[in-house]
Amino acid sequence: MNDKPEKFIDNNGLRLDGRKADQIRDIKIEVGVLSRADGSCYLEMGNNKVIAAVYGPREVHPRHQQKSTKAIVRYKYNMASFSVEDRKRPGPDRRSIEVSKVSREALEDMIFTEYFPKSAIDIFVEILQADAGTRTAALNAASVALADAGIPMRGLVSACAVGKVDETLVVDLNKDEDNYGQADMPIAMTPDGKITLLQMDGNFTLEQFKQGLEMAQEGCRQVYEFQRKALLDYYAKKEETEEVAVIEEVLQEEAPEEVVEESIAEEMEEIEEDEAEEVKAAEAESDQEIEEDSSETYETSDTVEEEATETEEPEDEDEEKEEDESTIDESDDEREVSQ
């Protein structure tokens, strides 16, 4: 743990981390980081790193908690055991229960809960890295996550703390300022200046309190600009990617038909060509056969003629036979006469 610094404000009026008194820490916001949540946000505010997830409106479990006229809002703030310097004991403690309660109240009135009777809107916030002002950072993330979930709200809630170090008012306190400062006042408000959370640790004079409120209001306005920009950028990009996806889908739907049409046409052409070739080949073959057949038939007639001449020869033989027979007959006659 760091020791208490001797001075919180240097001779140039700058704080230990180089910021001016009314300057908030750097903010980085990412929307829609969790795919299973209805809305989500990752937020860095200085060295704080938080993640928020929103589920709902959804069924209420346990059922006895449900309200017939409006949605119930539940908020769970959890500090990871590795988020702080000395390991934090895991699980809920008095502090996290208190932070959850005040944060829920800071958001609940901004939500049109009457639109969703008998349902629940659950907000979970995990502190991944803590460096003072985690409840305000968590509220900023939760508010963006609610918007991302499409929960109708009267306005985005933006939060930052105002405190006092070396009798000087400073916004968005860092760890040393929070630990060793004279006062710390986390505030959450809507863009039109309605305060939804105000806590105070330490002492302010009335004048300091009024001035502190104004400084916090300006700090919240700056936070609001980051939230608004993050949401606008995210949805502009999402719309663009969705448009591209739709165009790609349309193209993909069209493409196969074109391909199919093209391939069908090509196939048809090939089939026609093949058929034409086959027909040609068949015609050529049949012509050749006819020619061959006709030449063969001529040949046959020759052979028939030849055969016919050949068959004539035995006729001669028959004549000879007949002649022979007649000579036999004659000899028989001669025999008969001699007898």
The count of residues interacting with ligand UDP (CB under 6 A) is 12
- Is 37 a binding residue for ligand UDP by CB under 6 A? The answer is no
- Is 158 a binding residue for ligand UDP by CB under 6 A? The answer is no
Closest separation between CB of residue 53 and ligand UDP, Å? Answer: 19
- Closer of 115 and 180 to ligand UDP (Cβ): 180
- Is 88 a binding residue for ligand UDP by CB under 6 A? The answer is yes
For the packed helices 206-338 and 134-148, what is the interaxial angle rounded to 10 degrees? Answer: 40
- Is 153 a binding residue for ligand UDP by CB under 6 A? The answer is no
- Closer of 55 and 204 to ligand UDP (Cβ): 204
- Closer of 55 and 75 to ligand UDP (Cβ): 75
Q: Which of 16, 21, 80, 84 binds ligand UDP (CB under 6 A)?
A: 84
- Is 178 a binding residue for ligand UDP by CB under 6 A? The answer is yes
- Closer of 140 and 190 to ligand UDP (Cβ): 140
Closest separation between CB of residue 36 and ligand UDP, Å? Answer: 27
- Closer of 148 and 178 to ligand UDP (Cβ): 178
Q: Scan residues 126-145 and list those touching ligand UDP (CB under 6 A).
A: 130-135
Give contact residues for ligand UDP (rule: CB under 6 A): 84-85, 88, 95, 130-135, 175, 178
